[in-house]
Every structure is written in C-alpha cells, then in structure tokens.
Structure 1
C-alpha cells in the first residue's frame, strides 16, 4: 500500500508538473490536520514521511521548561533530563504519537488539504511562469465571450482580453487562434489573473521581433512605436550595421515580412521610418509619406514647425490629424505643420540670398552687338522716350512716324516735278529721303522707304528716256 502511494505521487508529479517534494509537504500538512481533527489535540505535532518506503510517523513536540504550565506543549526540565541528559532549557523534545488509524472525518480533511495544496502549487507555478512574460507576446485560442470581454485559453490558464484592449471593429470567432500582448499578471484568491491586449504598441514591436531576424539578433533596433489600433501605426528603426538597411529589413522581400504583421492585425497600416538623432531629420522622416520642405525646431519648447508643399498639406496632416498625431507621439515633439504659402505669409522660411545670382552692376558692357548696329542701322535707345545714347534729342515715336511719311511725300512730289532731269541719280534721291527721317526711326521702316523710293526713281528714268 505504501509503495502504491509513492508511485501515485510520482505519476501526479509527471501529470501536473508539480515537484514530488511539494507533494510530500502537502501530505505531511494534511496528516497534521487529520491528527488534530481526529484526536482534538492542540499540541504541536510533526509528521515525517519516508520518501522511499512511504511510511509515516507522527511526533508530538514539547518545549523544555522549569515549571510546566501547559502539559500539552511543555515538559519539565527534570523529566527531559531523564530521557536524555543533554537536554537544556528551551530545547524541543519529541514524542512519537503515531496513531494506528485515522477516522473517516480525518481522512476527508486530509484529502481536502492535499487537493488545496496541489491547487496552490499549480497556481504558484502558473504565476511564476507568466509574471516573467509581462510585456511579451502569447498565442491563445478564443474560448468564449463574457459580457464584452473575451476569454482566451493559453494552455494552462485562461486569460482575459478586456473590451478596451480589443481592436475596434475586430470580431473574434470561437476556437480562433490569436496573438496577444501580456499587459499584467495579478495574483488573486482564484489564482493568477492575466490581462491581455491587442491594442498595445508593444504588440507591434514583438510581432516585428518574431518576423524580422535582424531585430531578433540585435542588428536592427526599434527605437519607438506609436499606434492607433485598427487604423495606422508608425515605427522608427535604427541599424547598428551600416551595411544593413533597417527599413528594408523590416519590409522584407516584396513586403512579405510586414505583410504578415498587417494580416495578423486585420489590415492595420504600418509606416516604417528611419530613426535619427537629429531632431529635424527625425521629424521629417516621421511625417512620411508626406515630403517635407523644411523643419524649424524650437529646442527650448521642443516644438517643430514643419513646412510642406501646398499640395501635400492634407497628406502631412492625415485623416482627422492622424498622421501628425502619430508623428508627434513617435518623436516626442509638438509638430506644427504649415504649407509653403502659409510659411511665406508668416515669414517662417528665412529669406537668405540665393547663391549663383549676381547683381546687374557686376555685368560688363557687351560689345558683341556692334556688328548688328552696322548691318541693320540699329541704334540703341531707351524706352519711354528717354535720351538716345548717341546724344540725339528725344523724339516721340508717333511724331517720328509722322515725320517719316511727311518727308516721303515731299520728296515724292519733288521727284514728280523734276521728271525731265535725266541726271537724277539714285544716291541723291536716297539721301534726300533719308534726310527727313529722324534717327530714332527703326531700321526696318527706313529700309522699306528706301526700297520704295528706288523703285519710283527707276520708273521716272524710263519715262524721261522715252
């Protein structure tokens, strides 16, 4: 019978994962309770179980005193010296009081104590296991709904996923496997209570550690996570190895790694940006996918004014300010986003002189146009009727035009009167025509007039010969 008892304890150790020593301690406590229950004794007793044979003995413990006041817990000094001369005052004397058998009530009490001790040992083991997993990710099976909370089976224990820690709009089916984040482990009278979360930013971090080997190995480090569960998340990553691109490592080949995480989170969008110790660069990266023109930080107030192109203002702010909110959480800076036109109105952008441009005074006078002056009779003049460079008096353009046509008519009339003069030469006619034309007149008009006059002179010569 005793050997069967020992074998049963070892089977229980394998099945429940509880140490045999804990089981022996539990049975010893149960026998002490049964002895006191059966014999109504208030004396101190100790139970000893042989770990090999299973035999047990009960010992009553009494303290050595000079004057005995309670015979159940004390023994006289003289009496103790008779048993063993080495006993001194305040020593403990043990008497064997092992009963032949226990009653039914005592056996029932022992059973309850054993069951209670085993249950406490199991709870202690579960608590010790999961208290070290706070801030870690666990996989469980959805069991049922209790009001709005979801009960998730983690194997040895059931955990609670409260309503406020669930992703908005996410529906959980029975026996569905989900990954959750362990927020807190409490020790209660009913055992350890494990609180889970699907909205915690740490869930994103742990999922990337599972999917990206570079993060697990410590080559790539996640510097920060900001999240609005169910909508969008941003993470800042940094590479300790200059040969490893942190963003590319997290995205994976053809986006496979990040797509696995997006699928687990039911389609939540994830932005991965490069971390930088420079606040200006980090803030600009955090506003991805918007392109930033400039960042103007106020270090004392930890406020950054960000200027973006006009057409990307709404993209930088995001839906209901979501992109700007997540960027502010990620960087720890207050971000004020302005468009280029707004920044120009408020004089936010510093007006520095642009390089590569020189003032007008620095240009030298060009002389390459002299050849055009000779060929086209071109004369430089100033606009708005100012003085001409060659020293001529200012002439109004309309008056100049009138003088041209007047001179033309006068010379034409003169030529009609002198039709019989055969010695009239082309040069003289041309000279007379051009003498009445102001020098301000454009070269094109002068050419036209000269051509017409030449034609008229030739016709008159023919008539004179005839």
Structure 2
C-alpha cells in the first residue's frame, strides 16, 4: 500500500480537511491492535508508518536479560549485542517483528480507518452546521415514519419530529414538503441527532420573519408569541416607525402574508395584535377580537381585571377559555374577565 497510501492521505487532507498526520496516527493505533489480535503479542508493541514512503514496521520492546523467561518481553544479552555492542543487562531495545504478510493486514486496516475517519469528519461538519442553526427553521421532506416519529430529510442529514412536537391532527405523508423549527442538536456516535418541532412558538415567529419584509428589516418587531399549535395563536407586534402599521404589515395585502402562514400551519388561526408598553392597552389588544370596556391592573400580584359587554363575554373568554388563556400567555398577566352585569 506504501506510496499509494501516502498519496491517498494527502488527497483526503486536501478534499476533506482531515490532517494526514491525524490519519497516520489513527492507522498506527489500529494496526497495533490488529497485530496484537492476530499474533497474540503483549502490550509492548509499536507500529510505525514512514510518512514519506508509507512503509509499515512493527517493533517489539524487549528487556535485555541473561536468561529469557518470556520471549515476547525479553531478549538475550548476546542477541542484543549483535544489534548494538553498547547494550547491557536491563536495557530496553526495539526489535523489528514485522510479519511477512502484514502488508495485506495493514492495507485492509488502513482502508477501514480512513473510511471511519472520513465518516466522523463528515458527521462533525454536519453537526457544526446544524448546531449553529438551533432556533432557526428549515424546509424538509417527510421521508418516513418510525414508531410515531416522523423522519424529515434535510438534505445533508435527517431530523426527528417526535409526537409531542407534531401538530395535533396534522398528517404527514412521504414526500410532503414542510417547514420545521430546530429545537436541539446533539452529537452522537452515529452522527448529529436533530430534534425539530411543528408546535414551537418559535416556528410561528420565524414564519412571520420570512413572510414580512418589515420584520426582516427591523421596522416591525415581534414582542411576544403565544401558541396552541394546530388551533390558535396570538402574536404581538410593534412598529419602530410611526408611519408603519405593524398589524397591517403582518396581515399583508388582502391578507396574503398571514394566509400563507396559516396555510403552512394547516389552518391554525393567528391573531395579530398591537403591542403597547402600557399594560392596560396591551391586555385589551391581546383579547382581540373581543371588545374591552375597561382594564384594571394590580402590578403587585400581576393580575388584570377586564370588563367586557355582556354579549362579548363568551368571545373574550373563547372556546374552553382559549382566547383568555392565549392573551394571558401573550401579555404575561393573569387575566380575570367579567361582564358588565357580573360587575354590577
């Protein structure tokens, strides 16, 4: 394998960025294990590969003694002197023990090590690429389902959409193109493990950033997001420029922008409300589409009492309390809703 090996390692260094010396060290370590396995040697064996020629040699370290009791670890003084007359009892010397057929073993081992190291390097590259994209969204193809998990093809690797991160009642079919939010990226012995989500509030936020140029440009800011995936969400927005309507920008011409997001989320309803630094106004906006008559806040306990017309009570609370619950998540306030007649 000699010259061909060195040339191959140099090519790999250029193409894959894996240093030749790193590969040589790995091959030497693997050959050492292979020699011990195949020839039953003790732990005092070293394998050396010439960096220029690729020549492989195996050396056994032995102690110079008068009487040999363990041939694998000891050598007679008279044999040692033949190699170097300066040796004496107790010295440690290296004796070449390269087997005649070791070249074939070395070639096979080197190939396995190189392939393994290339795979590891490629896994590391993929990990570094995706770990820096945690909190981002990607478009992937539904590849298959395994034990209720959906495997998403991201091109260079796969991601896992576990049941708790799937939108309820959303069906995934092979070949479907969907957007997913990268929740977490972990390195494993088999490569990067990428967990993605369709339910994370961050997915909604990123979708608005993609669809609304004013958000991408920083003119409109997303202040908070509250989401019950597959059913309804609320998003609070604010404009840094007085002449720009943040809600209108997110809705888009004829509702085109928000409609694209609703379609991506399989019909999930999205309420876009205007953020306000004044808690009373923000809470009133958050309960949209309900009409609010009055808001009283207790900042010590972070509780808001909201008064609505009688005919607006069910709308303000929402089905199974959903509207009030989302408004509370959006604002960070505990909201107590009362009708006018209840108040009186």
Query: Normalising to structure 1: TM-score of the pair?
Result: 0.61
Alignment partner, residue 88 of structure 2: none
Equivalent residues of 1:283, 1:331 under 8 A apart: yes
CA displacement at 1:115 relative to structure 2: 3.2
Determine helix, strand or coil for the equivalent of 2:226: strand
Q: Distance in 2 between matches of 1:252 and 1:93?
A: 82
Q: Distance in 1 between matches of 2:211 and 2:50?
A: 52
Q: Which runs of 5+ in 1 are unaligned?
A: 63-69, 84-91, 346-466
CA deviation profile, 1:125-176 (whole Å, cap 9, x unmatched): 3222222222221221111111211111122222211112111111111111
Determine helix, strand or coil for the equivalent of 1:171: coil
Alignment partner, residue 281 of structure 1: 281
Alignment partner, residue 222 of structure 1: 222
Equivalent residues of 1:18, 1:122 under 8 A apart: no
| Counterparts in 2 of 1:243 and 1:35: CA distance versus 1, 3 Å | farther
Alignment partner, residue 192 of structure 2: 192
Q: How does 1:58-137 map to 2 (within 5 A)?
A: 58=57, 102=102, 104-137=104-137
Determine helix, strand or coil for the equivalent of 1:224: strand
Q: Distance in 2 between matches of 1:132 and 1:249?
A: 30
Alignment partner, residue 455 of structure 1: none
Equivalent residues of 2:307, 2:340 under 8 A apart: yes
Q: How does 1:326-337 map to 2 (within 5 A)?
A: 326-337=326-337
Q: Distance in 1 between matches of 2:45 and 2:217?
A: 58
| Counterparts in 2 of 1:244 and 1:93: CA distance versus 1, 3 Å | farther
Equivalent residues of 1:165, 1:200 under 8 A apart: yes
320-329 or 242-251, larger mean C-alpha shift? 242-251
Equivalent residues of 2:59, 2:98 under 8 A apart: no
Query: Normalising to structure 2: TM-score of the pair?
Result: 0.80
Q: Distance in 2 between matches of 1:149 and 1:199?
A: 14
More strand by share: 2
Equivalent residues of 1:48, 1:57 under 8 A apart: yes
Q: Distance in 1 between matches of 2:239 and 2:59?
A: 69
- Select the structure of larger CA radius of gyration: 1
CA displacement at 1:342 relative to structure 2: 1.9
| Counterparts in 2 of 1:235 and 1:312: CA distance versus 1, 3 Å | same
Equivalent residues of 1:223, 1:238 under 8 A apart: yes
CA displacement at 1:12 relative to structure 2: 5.5
Q: Distance in 2 between matches of 1:149 and 1:130?
A: 20
CA displacement at 1:225 relative to structure 2: 0.6
Determine helix, strand or coil for the equivalent of 2:288: coil
Equivalent residues of 1:297, 1:305 under 8 A apart: yes
Equivalent residues of 2:215, 2:222 under 8 A apart: yes
| Counterparts in 2 of 1:3 and 1:329: CA distance versus 1, 3 Å | same
| Counterparts in 2 of 1:27 and 1:244: CA distance versus 1, 3 Å | farther
Alignment partner, residue 77 of structure 2: none
Alignment partner, residue 45 of structure 1: 46
RMSD, aligned CA = 3.5
Alignment partner, residue 352 of structure 1: none
CA displacement at 1:13 relative to structure 2: 6.5
| Counterparts in 2 of 1:61 and 1:106: CA distance versus 1, 3 Å | closer
Q: Distance in 1 between matches of 2:128 and 2:194?
A: 12
Alignment partner, residue 301 of structure 2: 301
